[in-house]
Chains A and B, each alone.
Chain A
Amino acid sequence: MTALPRQRRRAVLRQSLSVGVATGTYGISFGALSVTAGLSLGQTMALSALLFSGGSQFALVGIVAAGGSGAAAIATSSLLGVRNGLYGLQVSRLLDVRGLRRAAAAQLTIDESTAVAIGQPEQPAGRVGFWATGLAVFVLWNLMTLVGAVIGNALGDPRRYGLDAAAAAAFLALLWPRLRSADARAVGVAAALVALLLAPHSPAGIPVLVAALAAVVIGVWRAYWTEPPA
């Protein structure tokens, strides 16, 4: 494996750190929301360190706050967590790790680390991007969860700063280089449309999963039509 030139390495690390800072900031709202929902400081911190998946964590405390059962909270959180397992298929190929490093990589496999990893054109940059983003998000997310849980939502609604839009834009920017391929573009557009069609009619987590599966079927189908089978 060829080494990564220093300049590329710095660019990837900068990208990882900015994703970490933007995502970490959301940890403040999570910490505040979780304590307001009735979870203790310890339980709130356990979620950020052990569950470590923003969408699942927000859904879990949202259900608890609304008076839902523990089983419902676990089910929704897990449904939203399925996509991390699907990311793992590709991330695992990229990293090729064993033992404890594999467990650590699995724990860090979330939207952000996967997006930075697959957004890099060369494999060494993908590896650096995965670890750097995963660690940056992990450290900042936990730190900011603590801040939010202890001092409350000092920043106010993150939407006021456009942080929700920044997150969507960051994922789009990370995907962008991949969208140069016609295959990936077709799959991405199809997935986006299917997710939006399903969103009003299905529980959280389902639209993204079904969209991805539908899109992949389209991708395979396209491959079948545009290339003779090997």
Chain B
Amino acid sequence: MSMWSTVLVASAFAFLLKLAGFLVPHRWLDGPRTVRVTALLPVALLAALVAVQTFTTRGGLVLDARAAAVVVAALALLLRAPFLVVVVLAAATAAGLRALGWG
């Protein structure tokens, strides 16, 4: 398969997958339980994504500077820090620990 076909076929699939969610008729999702599930789905996906981004490297479980940074972010959120402060604190924690040679 040529590189261009790989690029274009992967892009077409990516778009069709994105579009699929929009093409499901709203009335199919109108039941009280379905409304609940659809609302919880992104929460579940993003929470799983945060866990994978924080604690894994190429599939292996890892405890490194990212974990420390996310703990700092969670503490900042508990103290009601604004969004940008949370993100900058997390980046600074990870960068700082790595500069010191950890994680």
Contacts and interface: CB of A to CB of B under 8 A. Distances in A.
Given A106-B22, A168-B50, A168-B54, A18 B13 contact: no
Chain B residues touching A, range? 35 or more
B7 interface: yes
A60 interface: yes
A167 to B, nearest CB: 6
A211 B96 CA distance: 32
B91 to A, nearest CB: 4
Main secondary structure of the interface of B (DSSP, over half): helix
A89 B24 contact: yes
B33 A165 contact: no
Interface in A10-54: 14-15, 18, 22, 38-40, 43, 46-47, 50-53
A171 B51 CA distance: 10
Contact of A84 (B11, B18, B43, B55): B18
A51 to B, nearest CB: 4
Contact of B46 (A51, A64, A111, A213): A111
Interface string B6-27: 1111110111011111101010
Contacts of A215: 40, 44, 47-48
B101 interface: no
Contacts of B86: 169-170, 172-173
Contacts of B89: 169
Interface in A81-117: 81-93, 96, 102-103, 105-107, 109, 111, 114-115
A211 B22 contact: no
A159 B93 CA distance: 11
Main secondary structure of the interface of A (DSSP, over half): helix
Contact of A165 (B44, B83, B94): B94
Given A60-B6, A207-B48, A159 B13 contact: no
Interface stretch (A138-146, A147-155, A189-197): A189-197
Given A160-B95, A195-B48, A85 B10 contact: no
Nearest to A108: B18
Contacts of A103: 19
Contacts of B88: 166
Given A39-B7, A176-B77, A188-B43, A107 B69 contact: no
B20 A85 contact: yes
B3 A39 contact: yes
Given A162-B98, A165-B66, A191-B45, A93 B29 contact: yes
The 10 closest A-B pairs by CB, nearest first: A88-B21, A162-B94, A169-B90, A70-B1, A165-B69, A165-B94, A188-B47, A192-B51, A169-B73, A50-B11
11 contacts: A46-B11, A74-B9, A84-B14, A89-B29, A90-B42, A96-B26, A115-B42, A184-B43, A191-B44, A200-B60, A215-B47
Interface of B: 1-11, 13-15, 17-22, 24, 26, 29, 32-33, 36-56, 59-61, 65-66, 69-70, 73-74, 77, 83-84, 86-96, 98
